[in-house]
């Protein structure tokens, strides 16, 4: 009886194993209603196709975030020339609404990407970005600039940003941090390129044609992204615009709030650097302009080196460290009064703040077990970040007093919000993996 019972149990085990193997066979057709979570350990983690996705996504960030990060140059030009009758805060709203829509539209494009419409998003987004720059070159009134450079460009860049990052995340697992870091370095390199184009061409050919040249660069580089990028994962079912289970997970919720605070404070120096350099240091107008380029150039290293290390420590752990250091550096800005001191501040701030933009997608991926939901969760997280970005720079603009040259209120706001972001990200890490530094999150 015992041997018969054992034989029957073995037979049942073999039957179950056979069924499992059959369920894994590639020839088996799957019902559209079945859930099929995509495991992260079968990502190719390299190869020509995978690195082409990095190239394509690099140019997505080159144009979307590169032009947004260049807004400080537009702000300075508008303050001194075209919109000199408007306040700093009012002009900041143009760049803030651009960044807000860039992130907010991700809450819609994430699920649209999941449904298989990536190429449509790329074409529509590219058209809107190029159209925006062409219309900006013709705009002379505040509402025209607000609509063209703020609203239209924000909508176009939002169509391509989240899907581009989501594609890279699905092609890499062990080297995801490095791949996403290379991708997001496109934003800082794009900033340096677009700032240089703006500064070199604007005095020679005028503002309208300078912006048109930027539009042609955007069109050419976006065409490369459209040509080479291809989605790897095809979810078996349609995804909702909102993943109701996401905010029931404490680590993800804490991270999203911290990420929103991070975006609220991080970009203040990128908007205010030229104005601060002119008002509080002996820098001339040309050198003041290039402080933005210094911030962006050092940010390139800040998007690569921490991401490389994040493959060993985990992206969320590295974010906690970089957010804390960035907040401390931001508060040290109050002690800067010389050109050399401001150069040192820009280098250090760019170096550590770069990771606050490059690592969140990898951190969200590490907090998401089912990567078929990654696009939706990226959209949700960046939607909240968009509200932070919308608020941060206009508030800082109100806190700056150019009549007395006082920037300390905006600087304190910058430092405290980023330190708060670091604290919440630490709480998210503890909620996910406890206090042990050896656990990779």
Mean pLDDT, rounded, for 411-440 = 89
Q: Does 294 reside within a domain?
A: yes
Residue 328 in domain: yes
What's residue 20's pLDDT? 41
Residue 37 lies in a domain: no
Quick one: pLDDT at residue 9?
A: 45
Q: What angle do CA 395, 396, 397 make, to 5 degrees?
A: 90
Structural domain contains residue 93: yes
Q: What is the pLDDT of residues 365-407, one digit of tens each?
A: 888 776 667 767 877 888 889 899 899 888 988 888 777 778 8
Predicted confidence at residue 371, as pLDDT, reads: 66
Average pLDDT of the residues in 197-205:
91
Helix (H) or strand (E) holding 130: helix 118-136
Give the separation between CA 179 and CA 186, rounded to whole angstroms. 12
In a domain, 332, yes or no: yes
Query: Residue 235's pLDDT band (boundaries 50, 70, 90)?
Result: low
Least confident of 17-26, 51-60, 125-134, 415-424: 17-26
**CATH code, domain carrying 103:** 1.20.1250.20
> What's the pLDDT score for residue 213?
96
Listed range (53-67, 127-141, 286-300) with the worst mean pLDDT: 286-300
In a domain, 268, yes or no: yes
Give the 3-state secondary structure of residue 361: helix
In this structure, is residue 12 part of a structural domain? no
Confidence band (pLDDT; 50, 70, 90) for 17? very low
Q: What is the pLDDT of residue 6?
A: 45
Average pLDDT, the chain: 82
State the pTM of this model.
0.78
Give the highest mean pLDDT range of 161-175, 351-365, 398-412, 414-428. Answer: 414-428
Which band of pLDDT confidence, cut at 50, 70 and 90, is reported for residue 223?
very high
**What is the number of structural domains in the chain?**
1
Q: What is the pLDDT of residue 58?
A: 93
Tell me, what's the pLDDT at 237? 56
- Residue 43 backbone zone (phi > 0: left; psi -120 to 50: alpha; other: beta): beta
- With 90 as the cut, is the pLDDT of residue 331 above it? yes
d(CA 148, CA 155): 10
**More confident site: 414 or 15:** 414
pLDDT level of residue 41 (50, 70, 90 thresholds): low
Q: Residue 238's pLDDT band (boundaries 50, 70, 90)?
A: low
Please indicate whether residue 375 or residue 69 has the higher confidence score (pLDDT). Answer: 69
Residues 206-215 have a mean pLDDT of 96
Q: Which residues of 323-332 are buried (b: 16+ CB within 10 A; e: fewer)?
A: bbbbbebbbb
Q: Which two tokens stand for residue 312?
A: 């060993």
Domain region containing 65: 44-231+242-433
Question: Shortest CA distance to 294 belongs to which of 350, 358, 356?
Answer: 350
Question: Confidence band (pLDDT; 50, 70, 90) for 110?
Answer: low
Residue 16 binned pLDDT confidence (cut-offs 50, 70, 90): very low
Residue 220 in any domain: the answer is yes
Q: Is the pLDDT of residue 19 over 50?
A: no
C-alpha dist (Å) from residue 149 to 198, 205, 362, 396, 408? 15, 20, 29, 20, 29
- For the segment 78-90, the average pLDDT, to the nearest whole number, is 86
Instruction: Name the residue among 107, 233, 103, 226 with its Cα closest to residue 168.
Output: 233
CA distance 50 to 138: 40
């Amino acid at each position: 009886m015992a041997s018969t019972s054992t034989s029957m149990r073995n037979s049942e085990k073999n039957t179950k194993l056979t069924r499992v193997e059959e369920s894994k066979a590639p020839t088996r057709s799957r019902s559209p209603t079945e859930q099929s979570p995509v495991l992260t350990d079968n990502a190719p983690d390299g190869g020509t196709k995978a690195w082409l996705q990095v190239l394509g996504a690099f140019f997505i960030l080159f144009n979307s975030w590169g032009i947004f990060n260049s807004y400080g140059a537009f702000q300075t030009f508008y303050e001194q020339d075209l919109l000199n009758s408007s306040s700093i805060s009012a002009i900041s709203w143009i760049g803030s609404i651009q960044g807000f829509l860039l992130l907010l539209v991700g809450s819609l494009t994430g699920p649209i990407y999941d449904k298989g419409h990536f190429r449509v998003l790329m074409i529509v987004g590219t058209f809107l970005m190029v159209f925006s720059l062409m219309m900006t070159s013709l705009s002379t009134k505040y509402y025209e600039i607000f609509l063209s450079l703020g609203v239209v460009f924000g909508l176009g860049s939002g169509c391509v940003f989240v899907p581009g990052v989501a594609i890279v995340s699905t092609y890499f697992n062990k080297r995801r941090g490095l791949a996403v870091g290379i991708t997001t370095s496109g934003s800082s390199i794009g900033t340096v390129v677009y700032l240089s184009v703006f500064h070199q061409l604007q005095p020679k050919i005028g503002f309208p044609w300078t912006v048109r040249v930027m539009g042609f660069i955007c069109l050419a580089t976006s065409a490369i992204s459209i040509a080479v990028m291809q989605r790897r994962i095809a979810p078996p079912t349609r995804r909702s615009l909102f993943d109701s289970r996401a905010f029931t997970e404490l680590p993800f919720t804490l991270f999203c709030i911290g990420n929103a605070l991070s975006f609220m404070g991080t970009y203040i120096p990128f908007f205010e650097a030229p104005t601060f350099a002119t008002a509080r240091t002996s820098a001339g107008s040309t050198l003041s302009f290039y402080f933005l380029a210094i911030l962006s150039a050092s940010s390139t290293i800040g998007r690569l080196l921490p991401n490389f290390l994040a493959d060993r420590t985990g992206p969320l752990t590295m974010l906690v460290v970089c957010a804390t250091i960035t907040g401390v550096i931001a508060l040290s800005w109050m002690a800067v009064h010389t050109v050399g001191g401001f150069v040192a501040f820009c280098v250090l701030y760019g170096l550590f703040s770069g990771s606050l933009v490059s690592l969140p997608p990898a951190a969200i991926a590490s907090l998401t077990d089912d990567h078929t939901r990654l696009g939706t969760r990226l959209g949700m997280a960046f939607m909240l970040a968009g509200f932070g970005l919308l608020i941060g720079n206009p508030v800082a603009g109100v806190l700056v007093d150019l009549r007395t040259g006082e920037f300390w209120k905006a600087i304190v706001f910058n430092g405290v919000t980023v330190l708060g972001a670091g604290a919440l990200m630490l709480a998210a890490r503890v909620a996910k993996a406890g206090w042990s530094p050896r656990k990779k999150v």
